[in-house]
Structure 1
Amino acid sequence: METLTVSGTLDSLGAIAKYVMTAAESAGLDKKSTYKLRLAVDEIATNIIMHGYEEAGLTGKLDISSDRQESTLTICIEDTGARYDPYEMVTVESEELNKHLEERRMGGLGVYLAIQGVDQYFYQRVGEKNRNIFVVNCQ
């Protein structure tokens, strides 16, 4: 599939979801894997837009690409927003899981669940770009 380039705004989330769903269908993913992949990409894309662009006072784009290999589908999001490493959030969110329910703060588990929902997840900072890579195994 061709790379999808969208503005770094919340209005772009629908187009991103459609792109991911099309890539998943082309790769033959089952409904459960497709849902988890779409959810993971949506969570990270939302955080890029909210934290990497809006809260940082920046504007920019997101480039979403897909790569289908024999046994995997890889979705990659690149952006030029502020550095945002989801693994830093996962540490905080994992600690929240160990607290009693009444001690936990509301929300904040999206990144943790997103990363757990795909077979492999990688974050890289390459020059001035953030790169988020999601890999799911195809049956």
Structure 2
Amino acid sequence: MEKLSVSGKIDSLQEIVSYVIEAAKSAGLDKKSTYKLRLAVDEIATNIITHGYEEANLSGNIDIFADINDSNLTLSLEDTGARYDPYGQIGVEEKDLNKPLEERSMGGLGVYLAIQGVDKYFYERVGEVNRNIFVVNSNK
């Protein structure tokens, strides 16, 4: 699939979701896998926009790439926003999971669920670029 480049703004989330659904369809993913991938990408894209761009007073794009082969679909999100490593949020979230609802921190659970919803997830910072990589095994 061709790369999609969108503005790093909340208004772009629907375009991102449409791209993910089309990539999942092209890869032959079932509805459950497509749904989990869609949620994962939506959560990370929202964090890129909120933390990487808006809170850092930066602007830029999010580039989305899909690579489909016989065994999996790999989606990559790249941005030039502030560094935001989702793995840095997981330790806090796992501690919160064992607390009663009224004692849990507000927000943050989405990153944990996003990473758990795909077969593999990677984050890396290459120069000034954040790269979030999602891998979902094919149902073919």
Query: Which residue does 1:63 correspond to in 2?
Result: 63
Matches within 5 A, 1:1-139: 1-139=1-139
Q: Secondary structure at the match of 1:93?
A: helix
Deviation of residue 111 (structure 1)?
Answer: 0.2
Q: Scaled by the length of structure 2, what TM-score is found? A: 0.97
How many Å separate the matches in 2 of 1:127 and 1:105?
A: 32
- What's the C-alpha RMSD, in Å, of the aligned pairs? 0.7
Q: SS at the partner of 1:64?
A: strand
CA deviation after TM superposition for structure 1 residue 101, in Å: 2.7
Counterpart amino acid of residue 76 in structure 1? S
C-alpha displacement of 1:73: 0.2
Find the aligned partners of 2:4 and 2:101 in 1 and give their Cα distance: 40
| Percentage of pairs with the same residue | 72
Structure 2 stretches of 5 or more lacking a match?
Answer: none
What residue identity is the alignment partner of 1:12?
A: S
SS in 1 for 2:90: helix
Give me the whole-angstrom Cα distance separating, in 2, the residues matched to 1:106 and 1:83. Answer: 22
What is the SS of the residue equivalent to 2:114? helix
Q: Shift in Å at residue 100 of structure 1?
A: 2.5
The size of the alignment, in residue pairs, is 139
Q: Which runs of 5+ in 1 are unaligned?
A: none
**Post-superposition offset of 1:24:** 0.1
Q: Deviations over 1:89-127 (max 9, x none)?
A: 111111101223331123320000000000000000000
TM-score by length of 1: 0.98
